[in-house]
């Protein structure tokens, strides 16, 4: 798919090396097509890495996507150059009057805090509320999934005694949903989190539908509003070496770090990861874009309500 990205975005060169077709602003403007407008609120510390991971998955469809990046005015990232943020990201305040076909809100390294203790909770609450009427379908990932379920539906999170860390098999609970078209009976999902949401809290709320879960990692995907909201507790977008980087980073500063489960070949970090989740990750994002964004969004984007 031709991805319409800001010129000079670092992810462009990285993805071209993987033979993924991306399109700069100049060429995209010459095509008489209404691209789907996708906005990404990237709360992860390593912005360029997350940008690349998400754009890689969004490339797996023939539709043209216009990718935009949103940032918080109330939070300044510490691990990304300010020049990068100023060049490629815009504050929510400058985007609040715009509408988007799809939105992705990433995880954030704040999950061990109570939601209200997060420094940007007030602003992100405004964004959650705004997305309900300005976006056709929104994906909430990891911490954002927990925060979105709490904000919209009052679902609490619970601390885990041990970090949920590794690749875990997932069962789809409604195989007829379009989001699961082409899926095998079981699919894998990376998880890296210190807290969880619980099955009984989801089932107790008639506005929520639990659509995938794992005997090992618990609730994995929740759907609301007929697919206008998806809450994903893991990281389908992770590249093959992300958990390895996290493991080695944490091992260098602590001596109680467990090896990520079901990740390394023969459970040996020196043999590298056994990648088992990428095909379903690509299929999930392609299904989301096609069935819950493209098939549902109005041609006149201003008609989104």
Instruction: Find the distance separating the first CA and the last CA of the chain, reported in whole Å.
Output: 27
Instruction: Clarify whether 142 is annotated catalytic.
Output: yes
Angle at 258 between CA 256 and CA 262, to 5 degrees: 180
Task: Identify which of 61, 53, 64, 63 has the alpha carbon closest to the alpha carbon of residue 104.
Answer: 53
Catalytic residue among 111, 213, 237, 280: 237
CB 55 within 8 A of CB 151: no
DSSP H helices in 80-142: 82-88, 121-134
Burial class from Cβ neighbours inside 10 Å (0-12, 13-18, 19+) for residue 231 reads: buried
Residue with tokens 């909201």: 229
Q: Is 237 a catalytic residue?
A: yes
CB count within 10 Å of CB 192 equals 19
Q: Is 84 a catalytic residue?
A: no
Catalytic annotation, pick one of 142, 152, 191, 280: 142
Catalytic residue among 134, 152, 191, 235: 235
**Neighbouring C-beta atoms of residue 297, cutoff 10 Å:** 21
Active-site positions? Answer: 142, 235, 237
């Amino acid at each position: 798919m031709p991805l319409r990205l800001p010129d000079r975005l670092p992810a462009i060169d990285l993805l071209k090396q993987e033979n993924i077709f991306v399109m700069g602003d100049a060429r995209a403007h010459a095509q008489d097509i209404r691209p789907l407008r996708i906005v990404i609120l990237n709360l992860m510390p390593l912005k360029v890495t997350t940008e690349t991971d998400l754009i890689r998955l969004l490339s797996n469809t023939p539709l043209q996507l216009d990718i935009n990046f949103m940032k918080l005015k109330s939070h300044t990232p510490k691990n990304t150059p300010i020049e990068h943020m100023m060049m490629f990201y815009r504050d929510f305040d400058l985007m609040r009057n715009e509408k988007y076909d799809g939105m992705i809100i990433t995880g954030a390294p704040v999950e061990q805090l109570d939601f209200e203790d997060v420094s940007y909770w007030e602003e992100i609450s405004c964004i959650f509320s705004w997305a309900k009427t300005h976006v056709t379908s929104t994906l909430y990932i990891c911490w954002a999934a927990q925060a979105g379920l709490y904000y919209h539906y009052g679902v609490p999170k619970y601390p885990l005694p041990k970090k949920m860390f590794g690749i875990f098999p997932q069962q789809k609970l409604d195989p007829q949903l379009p989001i699961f078209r082409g899926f095998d009976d079981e699919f894998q999902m990376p998880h890296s989190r210190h807290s969880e949401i619980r099955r009984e809290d989801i089932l107790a709320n008639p506005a929520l539908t639990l659509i995938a879960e794992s005997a090992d990692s618990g609730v994995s995907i929740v759907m609301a509003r007929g697919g206008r909201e998806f809450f994903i507790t893991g990281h389908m977008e992770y590249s093959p070496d992300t958990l390895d980087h996290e493991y080695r980073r944490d091992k260098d500063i602590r001596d109680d770090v467990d090896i990520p489960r079901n990740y390394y070949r023969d459970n040996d970090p020196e043999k590298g990861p056994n990648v088992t989740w990428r095909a379903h990750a690509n299929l999930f994002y392609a299904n989301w874009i096609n069935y819950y964004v493209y098939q549902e969004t109005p041609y006149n984007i201003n008609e989104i309500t």
